Amino acid sequence: MKILLKARFDGKNYCGWQVQKNGSSIQGQINKAAAEIYNTEIKVTGCSRTDSGVHALEYCFTIEPPENAPKIPFENLPSALNIKLNDDISVFEAKEVPDSFHARYSVKSKTYEYLIDNGFYKNPFMLNRAWHLKKHLDENIMEAAAKEFMGKYDFSAFMASGSDVSDTVRTVTNTEVLRKGDTVIFRVSADGFLYNMVRIMTGTLTEVSYGKISPEKIKEIILSGDRKKAGLTAPAYGLYLKNVLY
């Protein structure tokens, strides 16, 4: 039996989703919780990697309890796992899926949001939740520039070094930049994302707003494949995985 679960987490205290030797991970915490519930090691597969400090409003993962494990109704799993998990991780949905289903490779689309605290004075309630930029951002100019990301392109110019991905072509299906009070939100959906792609997009859009890059240059930067021509990489703590579609 394979079970698909959804979780929310605050990534501040973790080195990302994937188990790593250099720190605590979301996957590691779920591995431990699942093993305690089932009294055996459980295979846990996530929908994607996330960088250290990145948050999720809806992260999808599967578990595969062996046949000899205790039988726990899947609808009870969120509560059972949450008892074992830290307070900054919460599982909120579970359902059975076919054995052919894969948490990562069956994904059709993901949506990320990036939050910028754009008040002149920083908001302490957004600490480690949003990137504080006190200089005013023009969300309308950013919105126009963000639309240039839409389409199927090689997004090498928006990928950080250190990735071992061979295929850098992605299809961006929707972008949006909006303001809610002092918070500027960049939202982007695609069939997949490269290493630091959304954070580099966000940094580039802020430079567009500040007049360092013209909106018309976005397409040129994409086609160049040159990371040096894109903007800075926004901090990880403002990034949220919003939802995953299968």
Please give the DSSP secondary-structure letter assigned to residue 188: E
CA 45 to chain centre: 16
Asked whether the beta carbons of 16 and 52 are under 8 A apart, the reply is: yes
Catalytic residue among 10, 51, 117, 182: 51
What are the DSSP E strand ranges found in the chain? 2-9, 43-46, 55-64, 89-97, 109-117, 131-132, 151-154, 169-180, 183-190, 239-245
Give yes or no: 51 in active site.
yes
CA 22 to chain centre: 20
Three-state secondary-structure class, residue 172: strand
Q: Identify which of 160, 153, 154 has the alpha carbon closest to the alpha carbon of residue 227.
A: 160
Q: How far apart are CA 102 and CA 174, in angstroms?
A: 24
* Catalytic site positions: 51
